[in-house]
Amino acid sequence: MKQSFYLYALKYRGGQMKDNKSQFADTMFHLHDFPKYDSTFDSLSNYIEELAHPEMPAVVFDELWDLYIEENS
């Protein structure tokens, strides 16, 4: 079974704070309403765009999503 995007992105948590992926993962971890079990692009993308958090830009989500798909296909 494919892991959720949330679990995949957590592997970037704890890196250098100047790293965009690390900032994204750390911020995502602290958001209790993040869809932790979701693995669909549209749902997650809508969440990111509606949230509009400065440390979770859509461009970083897109980067992480591409890596997620690449590693889980």
* pLDDT tens-digit readout, 15-68: 776 789 999 999 999 999 999 999 999 999 999 999 989 999 999 999 999 999
Q: What is the CATH number of the domain that holds 51?
A: 1.10.150.260
Question: Helix, strand, coil proportions of the chain in percent (round to 5)?
Answer: 60, 0, 40
The pLDDT, as a whole number, for residue 46 is 95
- Number of independent structural domains in the chain: 1
- Whether 7 has a pLDDT exceeding 80, the answer reads yes
Alpha-carbon Rg of the chain, whole angstroms?
11
Whole-model pTM: value is 0.90
Range of the domain at 14: 5-71
